Structure formats: C-alpha cells, structure tokens
Amino acid sequence: MDNLADRFRRRDGVVGVVGLGYVGLPLAATFAEAGFAAIGFDRDASKVAALRQGRSYIRHVAATRLAPLLRAEPPSAGQAGFHPTDDYASLPRCDAVLICVPTPLNANREPDLSYIVGTTEVIARYLRPGQLIVLESTTYPGTTDEVVQPLLERFGLRAGQDFHLAFSPEREDPNNSAYSTRTIPKLVGGVTPACGEIAAALYGEVIERVVPVSHARVAEASKLLENIYRSVNIALVNELKVLFDRMGINVWEVIDAAATKPFGFTPFYPGPGLGGHCIPIDPFYLTWRARQYDLTTRFIELAGEINQAMPAFVVEKLADALNERAQSLKGARILILGIAYKRDLDDDRESPALKLMELLGRKQAQFVYHDPFVPVLKRSRRYDFQLESQPLTAAELRAADAVIIATDHSAFDYEFIVRESRLVVDTRNATRGVRQGREKIVLA
C-alpha cells in the first residue's frame, strides 16, 4: 500500500476513468494535465471516436484543452497524456480506476444502480492485486461496501488486503468559472482506513484540497446532504413563489431584500422546476434508503413534490395569461427559450423545459424551442420529441402566441425578445432589466 501511495506521489501510475461524461471527461483531463498517464473508458464508441479526432462533445471542456493531452495509444506509467477507448481490456494497466457513471432513478423513483453494477462487473473481470478502485457516482450510503465491494471480491481478491476501495463523490458544477475539478475540495472515504489513505494520496496530487473522512458511507451521505440542502431550500422559495404570486408580491424582490442581511440567510431562487443529474434525483436515493430503516423522510419528499409541481404552475400561469387575452392554450403556438437545465450549458438532462413540453402537449398546444447550446433534442429515457432548435428571429417571436423563458442563457437579448413578442412568461426573472414592454411580461 505504501508503495502505491509513493507511486501516486511521484505521479508514476496509470489512472483509468470509466465514463467520459460531464464528470469523467474533465476528471481524466485533470489527471493528464497533472502529469499522470490517464486512460478514459466509455462504451459509447461515438464519444471515443470524437475525442480521438480532437473533438469535444461537452461545451465547457474545450477541444483546445484536450488536444495537447491526447495519445494515440494507452500511455504507460510515467507518460503523461490521455487516451480514450471503448476497449476495457486496458483496465489491468491502470493502478487506479475511477468510476464516473450515471445513477438515475427508475420508473418508480427508486435507485437504478445498473450502470454501477455493470461497470463494476467489468472491472471485476480485470481486477488485479494492488489496484485502487474509487466510486465517484452519487449514490446512497452503503453502496460502495454493500454493492461494489462484493462484486469486486467475487473472484477471490479482498478489499483492504489485495486491492483498495474507496468512495469520493464528484462535485462538478459545469460551466462554473469560479471553480474547477482541481479547485473543488475532494471528499475521500475508504472501506478501510488504509484504502482511504491510498485514495487521498492519489487525489492529493491533482486536487488542491483533499478532505479525508472516516468511511465511504460518510462520503456517500455527505454528497447526498449537499444536494438535499439545495433541493429543500429551492422548494421553499418555489412554494413562496406560488404564495406571493397570489398575494401580488414579487418573490425575487423579496429574496433580494432578505439577502441584504449579512448573516443567517443564504439566497436561493425559484424556477420552473429542477434539472440536471443531481438535485432532482439524488434526494430520492436517501428517501429510498431510509425506508429500509423503517423511516420516512417527509421533509425531503415534500421538497421533491413541490419542485416537481413547478412546471404545472408555469403552464397554469401561461393559460391564465392567454385567457386574459381571450385566447385558449389549446392550439396556441408556444416558443420555449432554453432547453438546458442551467444557464449557458449544453446539458438538458432532467430539464424542466422537457416537462413543460409534455404538459403543453397534453393541453394540445403547439410548441417549438430555441437553445443555442442544444441544437437537437435527442431521445432521453423519458422523452422523444424529435425537435430541432429554431432560429431566434423577430418573425419567430411574432409568430408565437407566447414565449416561455425556461433557461436564462446570457446569450439571449431580452430587450429584443420582449419587444418582438406578444406575451412573455418569464420563469427566471431574466427580464428584470427590461424597461419597455413590461406589460407583456408575466413572471412565473
């Protein structure tokens, strides 16, 4: 174990990253930039082909960043660089294997660990003594030692004796210019203290601050707490948005006023619902786990219910606004601005805009969308709209009976949007700086 830690400190080791998505790709690049030999594994051959051709499929991970790191062949220990592949036969070359795969919910809103299980089964077939395996995917407390560890031990090797096993949750915030993979503190917990020390030694070479915790379960629970904290607070302001709307009070002004207090208050902001692969999903991992301990996490589940109800609130506000103009939602043409779940991002996973589309379809409204970062709506686990982004022109805005601002991209010219539109339903307070045509704006 000490020898492996020393090798990591000398950066004389090969790091494998399984899953080259929004978490895995920047992580692999960070290790390669720090002088490690990095091999990225992904079963999507199209992603691997794009990377090998010097193209990035993630907007905030620039091709210019990846280009100098790419190697045509898997690098050996001591050879800095990054090699993407869909051939898992290179796993034995790796001294550390970091698992960065999705953890979605199934149709019953229960944890779907199929990606973790499938990936771990592949790793188990190639596992050799002395390797470090780290799970980074967000999951419920106990996954690393109850699910991953038995799968890895099925061929006779033992965690803490023959190989090392830890959990270190990803904390990526895509497109956040203030923080990067390197600068975000890294939690690390092993299934044994020694496993945690080995994992901390690895991450300590590329992350500015590593925070060791006593066990993998503590790290797993900590990641869930981070996202549940956000979910609950967003639910609070979403509920207040509905209340204050009925009272004729602007919730954004209320929040800004409260935020002037220099202590005891952290501002959170309402929206059309929650999106991304963390906040809409992760809290339900803990509610499911809690039921196994005969407990009901009512606070967390209530927050989830409130947040999930927000797209319906937006559609209701839209219908009311059209009704005031003697128009029905049925048959109306609605232009949705922004499909990505977050400003200036190209990620539409779990985006509330998709739920808005579903609800508009049920009301027999016609809808199109514009998003400069999502040119085509690809099929997801739940939706298959088969739509392409429409140009944001004056003619398109005028043709729409209403425009819904679902994502507040900074590229949008909100003065232009309000000027050319008949009705604007603003779910993000993006039009707060617009002075002309405010009679067209409905905050939702």
Distances (CA, A) of 314 to 224, 304, 384, 385: 28, 17, 21, 20
Alpha-carbon span 410 to 408, nearest angstrom: 6
Distances (CA, A) of 289 to 4, 293, 297, 428: 35, 7, 10, 33
Q: What angle do CA 7, 11, 14 make, to 5 degrees?
A: 85
Where helices occur in 164-309 by DSSP H, the ranges are 193-203, 216-247, 251-258, 282-291, 298-308
Alpha-carbon span 304 to 288, nearest angstrom: 13
Q: Which amino acid is at 98?
A: L
Report which of 307, 354, 312, 339 is spatially closest to residue 412, judged by C-alpha positions. 339
Alpha-carbon span 355 to 68, nearest angstrom: 40
Q: How far out from the chain centre does Cα 323 lie?
A: 37
Where helices occur in 139-192 by DSSP H, the ranges are 143, 149-152
Q: How far out from the chain centre does Cα 222 lie?
A: 17
Exposure string of 291-300, with b = 16+ CB inside 10 Å and e = fewer, is: eeeeeebeeb
Helix, strand, coil share of the chain (percent; to 5): 40, 15, 45
100 is catalytic: no
Catalytic residues: 278
